[in-house]
Amino acid sequence: MKKVNLLGPLFGFALMAAASVYADPDPNFHIYLAFGQSNMEGQGTIESQDKTVNPRFQMLSTIDNFNGRKLGTWNEAIPPLANKHGGLGPTDYFGRTLVEKLDPQIRVGVVVVAIAGCSIVAFDSPLDQGYMSTQAGWFKDIVKDYGDDPYQRLVDMAKKAKEDGVIKGIIFHQGETDEGDSDWPNKVKKVYDRLVKDVGLDENIPFFAGEVPYQGSSKGTNTNIRKLPEKSKNFYIVSAEGLNDLDMMRIHFSSQGYRDFGKRYAEKVIEVLGDKLNPVATSTPESSSAEPAASSSSGTPASSGDANSSSSAGPADGSSSSAQSPESSAPAEATSSSEGSEAIRAVQAKGVAIGKMVVSQNAIVVPVNLDRASRVNVSVYSVLGKQVMSMDAMFSAGENTVNLDASKLPVGNYLVSVQAGSARSTARIDIAR
């Protein structure tokens, strides 16, 4: 058994790796598809401030062997997110802003496919080989990384993402290459309709299209972009007004421009989706046959192998099942005492079992059982949603234990979130002395 002891609150996260766990999609893992050309790919310089990201924000790798990321796996959303040719882009601070502004139970994932210089026809299916024959070698290399079919790669990865969470919207930035094509808005609508059908999305899923720089060399593209809402009630425009800090080509935004533009995308999503972004209550009832958890004073938590509960889902940051328990739609309460008390629920999924947490006035003990090595994250939040404690560590297969020092936590109610690979358990606890 591996034990991890944390002597006091730890702040910040390390990399969270996704485990191969199959369960129901997590309704609190919000996923967005993103596609387009160079501005969506991201052309900004990645600076030190961009290299640290909240692990509640994840990216699904749409390219194999990309910065050590495997195709179809969830990874911490450190840029570049689209491909090895890209840099900082709008999806970076889109996701960061959402996790900052939304409830801490919500996680955000992005699935990005973008090709610098591409026409909208690059997202036709099948890909027009006549179009491809006219492209430069570097362009063909990017397309090759997407399996020589960018649209199909987006569809395949979107379906993969749906296994773990809920696709809430589509963000889009393309059009500079098609500036003179008056039929471009209709072509975009066709891609949207096909994507909705092929991925099996809600027919009213919102589509957010970003403008190009007002003072840029492709500013005429905005004429086409602003016609998009005429094609569907589900189409929305994200303004680029005032974002005039551009690169030397005056086509792309600067790094700060991408940060600001990403925030605008997020703010538009929040405006449009509103209450649909609130967390969904999930419950994972404990089996009546489960052994009671031992007091934390004994230092021996109950075996997680005895837990018999519903599956949970979600990549990297984990999740509980979207199926609602009729007996409980909100997290259960656990009150601590000098003798210690059982925590709140057990989660079991294929390959991963999170046992009953044990809470005392000075410690929170979290047992985790794995049938394969995986990364485990434990976070504690105040009732106001502020993270007050966090740890992230790699565990070996078998029984493992995390001991959190609760002695410095003020008396009050807290939310404990435990993630092991793709399984997650959350519970409210009461620290009382």
The set of catalytic residues is 38, 247, 252
CA distance linking residue 427 with residue 433, whole number of Å:
19
Which letter does DSSP use for residue 275 in this model? G
| Tokens at 155, concatenated | 């569809």
- Would you tell me the crossing angle of helices 90-101 and 255-273 to the nearest 10 degrees? 50
User: For 59, what's the count of Cα atoms within 13 Å in the CB-facing half-sphere?
Assistant: 27
CA distance linking residue 141 with residue 67, whole number of Å:
16
| Tokens at 178, concatenated | 């098609």
Burial class (CB in 10 A: 0-12, 13-18, 19+), 1: exposed
Place of tokens 């991963």: 352
Collapse the DSSP code of 407 into the 3-class scheme (helix H, G, I; strand E, B; otherwise coil) and give the result.
coil
| Tokens at 219, concatenated | 């500013």
Of residues 356, 219, 353, 333, the one with CA closest to residue 286: 356
User: Would you put residue 103 in left (φ > 0), alpha (ψ -120 to 50) or beta?
Assistant: beta
Burial 337-365 (b: 16+ CB within 10 A, else e): eeebbbbbbbbbbebbbbbbbbbbbbbbb
Instruction: State the amino acid at position 58 in one-letter form.
Output: Q
For residue 309, the tally of other CB atoms under 10 A from its CB is 22
CA distance linking residue 128 with residue 135, whole number of Å:
12
CA distance linking residue 22 with residue 352, whole number of Å:
10
Q: Where are the alpha helices (DSSP H) in 19-89?
A: 38-41
Report the chain's C-alpha Rg in angstroms: 23
Paired with 380 in beta bridges are: 389, 416
CA distance linking residue 357 with residue 401, whole number of Å:
10
